[in-house]
Amino acid sequence: MRKPYLQVLIFFLLLLLQSCGAYFNQPFTTQKARIGENTSSKSILDGILPIKETIVGVYKFRDQTGQYKPVDNGSTFSTAVTQGGTAILLKSLEDSKWFNPIERENISNLLNERQIIRSTRQEYAKNSKEKQVTSLPPLLFAGIIIEGGIVSFDSNIITGGTGARYFGAGGSSEYREDRITVYLRAVSTSSGRILKNVYVSKTILSQGISANLFRYVKLRRLLEVETGVTKNEPAQLAVKEAIDKAVQNLIIEGIIDGLWKPQGGEAVVEKIKEKYDKEKEEAASTALLNRKLEDRRGKAAISITAGSANIEGDYGGSKGRISTSMAYKLYFKKPNLNLNLGVGYLQLENEKAFKDDFVSLDINLEYDFLPYEDLSPFAYAGVGTISKIDMNNPYAKLQFGLGLEYLPVPNVGIKLFGEQNVTFTDKLDGLAQGKRDDYFWRFGVGLNFYFGKPYKRVKSVIFE
């Protein structure tokens, strides 16, 4: 009985370590109020200040999606995202140190209070027989109005999970990702012209992990254990990070277009522009679900493979024997497609009946299904020849196969593949019997070494 308990204990420990940050910090007592959390995003504008702060006004920046919080059962009237976008935006504008925001969201309250002050002063002056009443200073006016809002909340853009159970012990993990989109624009109050318009998206991640044990330890004794933890990224912090990023982009694009001036002059502007161009290039090569669409393969490649070959001929008892090959791959301007020329050595054997060495020459047209990603399936087909090691009397053949390639680093790929070779002869194994021609399988692993600059370094798409 000790071994199963030891296995269960190890299983639980491994399961908990997958989410130890949340599991080992479970709240068992109340917590005091604290200063609000900051987002972890690093800004290009760190250490760069304006020559002069710009006075801006924000009338409203609210949720424009109209969506309610998704629930599994029933309905809820809680909104999916915060309704306090204006307060978050005002804080972001102030923290940026580039803008001086003034009160406009509740300006009616401000005007009412100023009217009360005037009336009180006039009444005081009248009762005290003073002839002069001190007037209030005029309100500041904004040269720029910041408009926009939270325009989209997409729930469950991707969901999934894993789980396993064996002999009463099991565990599972689940995840869900939502997405919000924020638009922000700067409008000139003198002309009404939209000076800049930017938008930013941010995902919201939710994760859950659980483990349980349900087992009879004795005839009438049942052991049942269950544990788990769920982590939900706060939607308010996601909105704050998206708004912070939108304000940052608004400042950067304004600096590049000369709307506001940084300290340091043109040298600082060029530095900011260079960093921002790199960030835009990275964003252009990133699709939905944070998929990087950068072409990390060159125009050509050398491929080396090793594996096994199995003949299916007129004898029974086929045995797997060594198979190796080397090929040169040349990509067309379309990065999915390449032509490869290869030469291979293989052994074919049937137990106690046939064994020989062969050389193959192959010409294949290969298609990569996901050419811009680290992990890509591929398929290929082509024609070739196979002959014995002396290269006499070659036989024509067709070959086709499927595989999977992974790029741990740029220009180096690791692949797994399976291939069928159909020959146009029934004499490959030295015996002509029956109506079906001989054929053989090849399975193996390989390395692709890419070189040369790709035709298109980055591809920009919305969804693929």
Digits of tens for pLDDT over the chain (464 positions)? 445 555 555 555 555 555 555 656 677 777 788 777 777 667 788 888 899 999 999 999 988 888 888 776 766 778 888 888 999 999 999 988 999 999 999 999 999 999 999 888 887 777 766 555 567 888 899 999 999 999 999 888 888 888 888 888 888 889 899 999 999 999 999 999 999 999 999 999 888 888 888 887 777 888 888 888 888 888 888 999 999 999 999 999 999 999 999 998 899 999 999 999 888 888 877 777 777 777 788 889 999 999 999 998 888 888 889 999 999 999 987 788 999 999 999 999 888 888 899 999 999 999 999 888 888 999 999 999 999 988 888 999 999 999 999 999 889 999 999 999 999 988 888 888 877 888 999 999 999 999 887 765 554 444 34
Inside any domain, residue 36 = no
10 within a domain of the structure (yes/no) = no
Among 223, 258, 284, the domain-final residue is 284
Alpha-carbon separation of residue 419 from 378, 396, 422 (angstroms): 12, 16, 10
Specify the pLDDT at position 248: 93
260 and 308 both lie in a single domain: no
Round to whole Å and give the CA distance between 53 and 43. Answer: 18
Q: Which domain holds residue 432?
A: 300-451
Q: Are residues 273 and 307 in the same domain?
A: no
Q: Which two tokens stand for residue 1?
A: 């009985």
Is 432 inside any structural domain?
yes
Structure tokens at 276: 């921002």
Please tell me whether the overall predicted TM-score, pTM, comes out greater than 0.85 for this model. Answer: no
350 vs 221: CA distance, rounded Å: 57
Alpha helix (H) ranges present in 232-291?
Answer: 235-256, 266-284
Count: domains in the chain: 2
pLDDT of residue 22: 60
- If asked whether residues 216 and 172 sit together in one domain, one would say yes
The pLDDT, as a whole number, for residue 462 is: 40
Extract the tokens encoding 437. Answer: 């021609």
Q: What is the reported pLDDT for 433?
A: 80
159 and 225 fall within a common domain = yes
Residue 52 and residue 88 in one domain: yes
Residue 227 resides in a domain? yes
**CATH number of the domain enclosing 249:** 3.40.50.10610
pLDDT at position 25: 65
Q: Identify the CATH number of the domain in which residue 393 sits.
A: 2.40.160.20
200 and 346 in a single domain? The answer is no
Contact 326, 303 (CB under 8 A): yes
Task: Report if residue 220 sits inside a domain.
Answer: yes
What does the block give as tokens for 180?
């919000």
List strand residue ranges (DSSP E) for 59-193, in order: 99-103, 144-166, 169-188
Kindly provide the b/e burial profile for residues 352-382, where b requires at least 16 CB atoms within 10 angstroms of the residue's own CB. eebeeebbbbbebebebeebbbbebebebeb
Looking at residue 137, its pLDDT comes to: 87
Same domain, 262 and 327: no
CB contact at 8 A, 154 and 179: yes
Residue 320 covered by a domain: yes
Q: Is residue 337 part of a domain?
A: yes
260 and 343 fall within a common domain:
no
CB 338 within 8 A of CB 298: no
Find all residues with CB under 8 Å of 169, minimum gap 6, and list them: 7, 8, 11, 211, 212, 213, 214, 215
Domain presence at residue 88: yes
Whether 270 and 341 share a structural domain: no
Together in a domain, 394 and 328: yes
Domain boundary, last residue among 284, 313, 334: 284
Residues 272 and 419 in one domain: no
- Select from 230, 249, 284 the last residue of a domain: 284
- Crossing angle of the two packed helices 266-284 and 235-256, in degrees rounded to 10: 130
In this structure, what are the phi and psi dihedrals at residue 174, rounded to the nearest 5 degrees? -135, 155
Residues 308 and 271 in one domain: no
